[in-house]
Amino acid sequence: MALVLAAYFAVLVAIGWWANRDTRSVAGFYVADKKLPSWVIAFSSNTTGESGWLLLGLTGMGYLVGFHALWIVLGEVLGVAVAWAFVARPFKEYTDRYDSITVPDYLSDRFLDRNHTLRLLSAAIILSMVGAYTAAQLTASGKAFSSFLGISYGSGVWIGAVVIVLYTSVGGFKAVAYSDLVQGILMFFSLLILPIVGIRAVGGWGELMSGIREVDVSLLQPMGDLGLSVGGLISALGFAGIGLAFLGAPQLLTRFMSARDGDQIAEAGVIAVLCIIVFDVGAVLTGIAGRFLFPGLEDPETILPVMAAELFPPVLAGVVLVVVLAAIMSTVDSLLILASSAVVRDVIQKILDPDLSDRQLSAIGKGLTVVIGVVGLLTALTEARMIFWFVLFAWSGLASAFTPVILCSLFWDRTTKEGAVWGMLAGFLTTVVWVLVFKERFYELYEMIPGFTAGFVVTVAVSLWTRPPDGAAAELKDVRATLRGRASVPSP
């Protein structure tokens, strides 16, 4: 098992050194010079969106609530499909026109924000949420190492953090994207095979259903133990709402931006949807099979490593450990790049010192990536260790701030800078306040639902009372005409 792990780490570091030659500019370090092919952006998008939350968190939810967790699958599949079909191409067209490298780049140019309000606000939100998000992923790293190798939780966090920071700081976004491809392929096959092995170990699908019915019949019900009640409906809505983030979370939008061209996006969309179906259905079924095979686990989020260790020989169990770490790393590396770009591109280069050279900015970006990784490491060593809810809080904070504004900016020419600013604040603050004050009083309604709603309503309301940027209507019309023209031309 240790040899498999060492070989995997060696591959990641090799990818980092291979990609290093393309990190000498800001665009190279943060968006791989916008030259990535379809397979890379498809797998990179899904692995970044899923992470250790998928393999440890979602399998744990399958273990706890059974088929009720399939509402998460529905929400994510719809979110991924809609994002690639309707958001990716106009976002790519706009960002290519603006030569954007970051999401705040796009927002600043789209709304003619000369005083950098959107850049500063975006950077503040990104940094605050990335800290929690990174800590949650490194928490998953500690759990994985502890479950598989028997080492301490803290040692597992350290090992995961060192490897991730090393290849990310050396190879930049190109290393992140290609390592995501490798990691995504490993995750795909593992989540295709593991539930099949688990169901066979039970004795087949019929035996699994009969056994789960005896354990707890509510595990087989779509609304879980809450049934068809207000609480059950709110729980299902919250689970499905997780998919909203795929429409505009900044770490996912960067994948659209980094594509070689629109044709790559069209191809990637099909790959991404098929991939997310296998990811999510496989994770839930693994958890359900694990509930029958290994009842009474103290920590449900360890069901996948427990199943791998018990059902597979040591070498294959080592491969599954690699897969868990792959899921974790595929998100942490993206978060480090996202946070670093928010500071280097949107604060240092665009506001504090525009005269710095690309080499200087790239060097600062690499150093800052290390610093942010260390902060996440220290947080993971001290914070509570519930991956599922910890990740969802950070996921919803980023998505509620950015998604409503991004959608309005792409599809409504009346969206204004003031609407974008207040919409981002409303979405972000509603998410935080909901978790701290209201969530327990409203059947644990997932915070992205009120956060997204507040962000969208405030963006629209404020925009109706303020003036849109000059030329916005003509620009949106031209973007649409350009996309229609490309769609009508058959590919050679």
Can you tell me the distance from the alpha carbon of 246 to that of 242, in angstroms, rounded to the nearest whole number?
8
Nearest Cα to Cα of residue 69 among 204, 180, 212, 185: 212
pLDDT band at 478 (very low <50, low <70, confident <90, very high): very high
Residues paired with 259 in a beta bridge: 36
| Average pLDDT of the residues in 410-434 | 96
pLDDT band at 215 (very low <50, low <70, confident <90, very high): confident
Greater confidence (336 vs 412) lies with 412
Q: For residue 28, which phi and psi values (nearest 5 degrees)?
A: -65, -40
Tell whether the model's pLDDT for residue 198 goes beyond 90: yes
Residues of the chain with pLDDT > 90, as a percent, come to 45
Q: For residue 240, which phi and psi values (nearest 5 degrees)?
A: -65, -30
Nearest Cα to Cα of residue 169 among 337, 411, 404: 337
| Average pLDDT of the residues in 210-223 | 90
Tell whether the model's pLDDT for residue 385 goes beyond 60: no
CB atoms within 10 A of CB 41: 30
How far from each other are the two terminal CA atoms of the chain, in whole angstroms? 47
Q: What is the dihedral of CA 163, 330, 238, 418, to 10 degrees?
A: 100
Can you tell me the distance from the alpha carbon of 198 to that of 205, in angstroms, rounded to the nearest whole number?
10
CATH code for the part of the protein at 2-385: 1.20.1730.10
Can you read off the two tokens belonging to residue 469? 């940027």
Predicted pLDDT at 391:
66
Type of residue numbered 465: W
Predicted pLDDT at 11:
82
pLDDT tens profile 38-76: 999 999 898 887 766 788 789 999 999 999 999 999 999
pLDDT tens profile 257-286: 999 988 899 899 999 999 999 999 999 999
Cβ atoms of residues 212 and 292 within 8 Å: yes
Tell whether the model's pLDDT for residue 492 goes beyond 50: no
pLDDT tens profile 128-152: 887 777 777 777 777 777 766 777 8
pLDDT tens profile 2-44: 677 778 778 877 888 888 777 778 888 888 899 999 999 999 8
pLDDT band at 386 (very low <50, low <70, confident <90, very high): low
| Helix or strand run (H / E) with residue 113 | none
Tell whether the model's pLDDT for residue 388 goes beyond 60: no
Residues paired with 36 in a beta bridge: 259
Cα dihedral sign for 130, 136, 137, 138? positive
CB atoms within 10 A of CB 369: 25
What is the CA 356 to chain-centroid distance, rounded?
A: 31
What is the CA 276 to chain-centroid distance, rounded?
A: 12
Instruction: Round the average pLDDT of the chain to a whole number and report it.
Output: 86
Nearest Cα to Cα of residue 130 among 183, 101, 168, 96: 168
What is the CA 234 to chain-centroid distance, rounded?
A: 23
Give, in order, the Cα–Cα distances in Å from 114 to each of 91, 118, 167, 257: 21, 9, 35, 22
Can you read off the two tokens belonging to residue 53? 């939350």
pLDDT tens profile 441-466: 887 888 889 999 999 999 999 999 99
